[in-house]
Amino acid sequence: MPDLRGKVAMITGASSSIGKGTAVEFAGLGAHLALTGRIQENLQATADACVEAGTPRDKANNAGIGYLADLETTVMAEYDKVMNVNLRSVVALTQLCVPHLTRTQGAIVNVSSICGLRSTTYCLVYSMSKAALDQFTRCVALELASKQIRVNSVNPGCVPTEILKHAGLDEEQVTRWHEREKSLHALGRVGEVEEVAKTIAFLASSDASFITGAQVPVDGGRHAMCPR
């Protein structure tokens, strides 16, 4: 297993879903954590879970939003919101972190999506934001390689989180979405938060010391499937 003892990790979007799972995974591997998120109550719950997993309490970001619309129904204000949260925030935070990462020769792991690798319908703006995030990951990996800063991304397939509910689907619609998605993944099921978190931990650790500029699908083979 990766060893993150003595490492300091900033995890965005740690108040829920993949961000929370990653925080708990890092805590169990010995990392000191700086957690950020938009929902204070949930963020505190994550911090408590991290303490239980092993991180020191005195040391206690994967932010993203979805938007379901096609070209003709896209509202430009929502377009701007998605791009700001899913892309602009990553660029701004990366700029701020580079001086610190240079001193420590640290690593960045961006959380993208299978939607950044494969085209899909009724998910235009979200898919665009994730494709741009993948390109950002590749470009910055080259720019920062001379500083020995590694930059990679993970591209999860369908993983049950709150993102579909936040995008406006009700419980029944989310259930139907997940059932349909099973047939689109080669392994015949949707993923789990822990499976993504473990991949992020690997890419952030010294075990991945010769990997940079990569997009790693954690998608049960969906990226290799023919469109249906």
Distance in angstroms (rounded) separating the CA atoms of residues 216 and 157: 11
Buried b (16+ CB within 10 A) or exposed e, 194-225: ebbbbbbbbbbbeebeeebbbbbbbbbebbeb
Strand partners, 150: 107
Amino acid identity of 80?
Answer: D
Q: What are the residue numbers of the active site?
A: 126
Determine whether 52 is exposed, middle or buried from the number of CB atoms within 10 Å of its CB (0-12, 13-18, 19+): exposed
